[in-house]
Amino acid sequence: MNKVPERIMIASHPARDDDGQLAKHIASYLRENGVQVEIKDSVYDAAIVEGIKKSQVDLLIAIGGDGTMLRAGHICAPFQVPILGINAGSFGFLMEVEADEWREKLDILLCGDYRLEDRMMLEAVHFRGEKVLGRFDVLNEVVVCRGRMVRPIRLHAYVDGYLLSSYVADGLIAATPTGSTAYALAAGGPVMPPEMRNILIMPIAPHLSMDRAIILPLGSCVSFVVSTDHEAVMSIDGKSPVDLDDRDRINVSVQDYAAKFIRFQDPGYFHRNLNKYMEQNPSKGK
């Protein structure tokens, strides 16, 4: 049995009015059960970060799709605040609760009958020479790739300072086990169970280069060095791209903290549900 959360914050996708209505229904139900609840209209609300920083939140309920869950992970992981995902999107691979079962699952939550699943995160550091241009938390993947011009770029991948391989490709992905079911999977990579703590390297459309995924040993650090005379970019978890110059370096290593997801199912749920998502992906009909 785990601690019953007494202070819950609810956040939803800002572009979906239905999510906001669902948040109000959930908040009302939780208050009837003696829980202190605060609703934010958007998962991007700066007040969420402030509340979490000040230890005013025991749990964040994220209503939306996988993008909402990724944003919640970035906010909550540094402060070890658990996240419960309620799926109001089209896919919801990361979400635990479907929109039509939230009452049932919240009753279980309020009995403390849940477990915490740690999802490994990465830290990506962008270097230009010896200057650090940015540091980023990563829940899914770091993608270093070509920009708008449809031409491959040259990339050199180093592991713990030693050259692993040089690529001519559309790009390279450094993914977490969580991200192994996202872009890396679409690029042909393997699926990694969520409890693993290894970095997956996956090339995107390699041309006469190594075309296999590589899973690095626990504790390894990977560096991607760009070699290009045209546009190259970096994207973290699908966010807006960051422009890269020739010889820029991206260092990727395992972050000190993990995202904590509320789970009601036993650990075997991941493999049981995998086929459902692979064969019945609702986004196919979009």
- Within this chain, do residues 126 and 225 fall inside the same structural domain, yes or no? yes
Residue 96 within any structural domain of the chain: yes
Output the pLDDT for position 283: 57
Judge residue 258's burial from the number of C-beta atoms within 10 Å of its C-beta, 0-12 exposed, 13-18 middle, 19 or more buried: buried
Render pLDDT for 96-148 as a digit per residue (tens, 0 to 9): 999 999 999 999 999 999 999 999 999 999 999 999 999 999 999 999 999 99
Residue 2 within any structural domain of the chain: no
Domains held by the chain: number: 2
Output the pLDDT for position 111: 95
What is the CATH classification number for the domain harbouring 86?
Answer: 3.40.50.10330
Residue 1 within any structural domain of the chain: no
Output the pLDDT for position 26: 96
66 is catalytic: yes
3-state secondary structure of 219: coil
- Within this chain, do residues 30 and 73 fall inside the same structural domain, yes or no? yes
Q: What does pTM read for this prediction?
A: 0.92
- Within this chain, do residues 144 and 270 fall inside the same structural domain, yes or no? no
252: Cβ–Cβ under 8 A, 6 or more apart, which residues? Answer: 122, 123, 124, 125, 138, 142, 174, 199, 221, 222, 223, 224
Find the largest Cα–Cα distance for the chain. 62
- Within this chain, do residues 132 and 23 fall inside the same structural domain, yes or no? no
- Within this chain, do residues 134 and 247 fall inside the same structural domain, yes or no? yes
Q: What is the mean pLDDT of the chain?
A: 92
- Within this chain, do residues 201 and 184 fall inside the same structural domain, yes or no? yes
Q: Which residue has the higher pLDDT, 81 or 269?
A: 81
C-alpha pair distances (Å), 265 with each of 12, 26, 74, 155, 196: 23, 21, 23, 41, 18
Give the separation between CA 66 and CA 216, rounded to whole angstroms: 25
- Residue written as tokens 């070509």? 146
Check whether 282 has a pLDDT greater than 60.
no
- The one catalytic residue among 18, 41, 58, 66: 66
Render pLDDT for 232-243 as a digit per residue (tens, 0 to 9): 999 999 999 999
- Residue written as tokens 């590589």? 214
Give the separation between CA 31 and CA 41, rounded to whole angstroms: 18
Check whether 194 has a pLDDT greater than 60.
yes
- Within this chain, do residues 166 and 244 fall inside the same structural domain, yes or no? yes
Cα 175 to the chain's mean position, in Å? Answer: 10
What is the CATH classification number for the domain harbouring 136?
Answer: 2.60.200.30
Output the pLDDT for position 7: 96
Residue 155's domain spans which residues? 121-256
**In contact, 48 and 59? CB cutoff 8 Å:** no
- Within this chain, do residues 94 and 128 fall inside the same structural domain, yes or no? no
Render pLDDT for 76-103 as a digit per residue (tens, 0 to 9): 999 999 999 999 876 778 999 999 999 9
Give the separation between CA 94 and CA 129, rounded to whole angstroms: 37
Residue 175 within any structural domain of the chain: yes
124: Cβ–Cβ under 8 A, 6 or more apart, which residues? Answer: 135, 136, 138, 142, 174, 234, 236, 250, 251, 252
